[in-house]
Every structure is written in structure tokens, then in C-alpha cells.
């Protein structure tokens, strides 16, 4: 079994060989490593994408707006993913971000997962009719991971999920009251022990 560091290194070098800069190649390596870590087909998808890239003119997108659509071909998932990461502080304020036509969306998905960590918010993504929840780059949740990821996504919708507790305030209060039993009132001896070097100087 290949190690994650080996996967990242080989992907980085292969990406440089097909024409990406070293900086972008490094980002691709991190993203494919992430997909393999989550048990998704990163290496397989990247191989297929690089083969198709030789004959197709996938489009780049430098400035992301709330609605984005390529002029002719499908968007390149790599340059789109890097643009998304670069502009995360601006676009996380959009209510909904929509894309039309992304090639190999699983590759773009890895950049979205990393963007979730950077923004500190969960991301809910809908690729056609398939829904995915990205949780701060810690895990990816969906109900179709046992299926092959599609090569093309025609309609993509992305929403940042505002952080909130998953419990009611009274549930928190109940646990907090239990926790109070472990609180120790600070005594004079504890205060003196925590004050510093004490009365004896050994220097």
C-alpha cells in the first residue's frame, strides 16, 4: 500500500510534468492525498482527468462570483479549486455560490474540503442531485461514497453552514451543573503554591 506522503510527492511531480507550476502542483498533491485519505478515488480521477486534458480545453476561472458559468467547455477542477481557496475570505460571505459544468468534480471537492478548514465553517455542496457535507477538512459525509463519482457535474451549489451548537441550552446547563461538582475552591495553600518560586531561593 502506498503511503500518503508518497502519493503526495508523485502527484506533485506528475502535475508539474503535465504543465502546472510547482506551486499549483504542490496544491494538487495535497488535495489528492486528502481524497485518498478519505477513501475516495483521487489517483484514479486525476489520471483520467490528465488524459482528457490533452485533448480538451477545460476553462479556468480567476474571479468567483455568486453565479459562474464557462463560456464553452467545462471548468478545470484544479484551477477552479485553487481560485476558491485563494478567494475564500470573500466568497464565504455569499449566500449561495453556483457553478455550471465542472469536469471531474471529485477533484474540486478536495479543494472545497480544505476551504472548509480555512473558513472555519462546514460547507454543504450539491453536485447535481448528490449532496455532500464537508466538515472543516476532518471528514466528508455523503450517502453515495460506495458509488463511482461522476466525471462531469452540470449544476453545483455551495453553501457555507453557520456554526451553531447541536444541543439545546438547557442540555448544556444540566451538564454544567454536574461539572460544578468537580470545581475546587481555591485555598490559601493553593494560592501560595501557584505564586511562583516560594520562600526558598536555591540559586
Q: For 151-172, write each residue's pLDDT tens digit.
A: 999 999 999 998 888 889 999 9
Instruction: Round the average pLDDT of the chain to a whole number and report it.
Output: 88
Question: Nearest CA to 83 among 169, 33, 24, 38?
Answer: 24
Give the per-residue pLDDT at 43: 95
Domain boundaries, the chain: 4-161
Strand partners, 102: 75, 153
Lowest mean pLDDT among 14-18, 54-58, 97-101, 136-140: 136-140
Pinpoint the alpha helices (H) of 54-168: 77-86, 88-91, 105-119
Q: Tens digits of per-residue pLDDT, 46-72?
A: 999 999 998 998 999 989 999 999 998
* 8 Å CB contact between 96 and 159: yes
Number of C-alpha atoms within 13 angstroms, CB side, residue 118? 16
Confidence at 142, pLDDT banded by 50, 70, 90? confident
* 8 Å CB contact between 20 and 52: no
Give the per-residue pLDDT at 187: 58
Pinpoint the alpha helices (H) of the chain: 4-17, 22-37, 42-53, 77-86, 88-91, 105-119, 169-179, 188-193
Ramachandran bin of 166, using left for φ above 0, alpha for ψ from -120 to 50, beta for the remaining angles: alpha
Q: What percent of the chain has pLDDT over 90?
A: 64
Task: Extract the runs of DSSP E, i.e. beta strands, from 84-166.
Answer: 97-103, 122-127, 130-135, 139-141, 152-161
Name 35's Cβ contacts closer than 8 Å, sequence gap at least 6: 41, 42, 45, 106, 107, 109, 110
What would the grid cell of residue 100 be? Answer: 455550471
Amino acid at each position: 500500500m502506498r503511503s500518503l506522503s508518497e502519493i503526495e510527492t508523485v502527484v506533485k511531480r506528475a502535475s508539474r510534468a503535465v504543465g502546472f507550476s510547482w506551486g499549483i502542483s504542490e496544491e494538487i498533491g495535497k488535495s489528492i492525498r486528502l481524497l485518498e485519505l478519505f477513501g475516495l478515488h483521487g489517483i484514479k480521477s486525476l489520471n483520467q482527468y490528465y488524459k482528457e486534458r490533452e485533448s480538451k480545453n477545460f476553462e479556468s476561472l480567476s474571479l468567483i462570483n455568486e453565479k459562474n458559468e464557462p463560456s464553452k467547455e467545462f471548468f478545470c477542477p484544479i484551477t477552479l479549486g485553487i481560485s476558491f481557496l485563494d478567494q475564500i475570505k470573500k466568497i464565504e460571505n455569499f449566500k449561495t455560490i453556483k457553478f455550471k459544468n465542472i469536469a471531474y468534480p471529485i477533484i474540486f471537492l478536495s479543494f472545497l474540503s480544505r476551504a472548509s478548514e480555512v473558513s472555519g465553517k462546514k460547507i454543504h455542496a450539491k453536485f447535481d442531485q448528490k449532496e455532500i457535507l464537508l466538515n472543516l477538512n476532518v471528514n466528508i459525509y455523503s450517502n453515495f461514497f460506495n458509488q463511482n463519482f461522476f466525471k462531469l457535474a452540470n449544476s453545483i451549489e455551495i453553501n457555507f453552514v453557520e456554526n451553531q451548537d447541536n444541543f439545546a441550552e438547557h442540555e448544556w446547563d444540566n451538564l454544567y451543573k454536574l461539572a460544578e461538582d468537580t470545581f475546587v475552591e481555591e485555598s490559601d495553600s493553593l494560592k501560595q503554591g501557584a505564586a511562583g518560586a516560594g520562600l526558598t531561593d536555591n540559586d
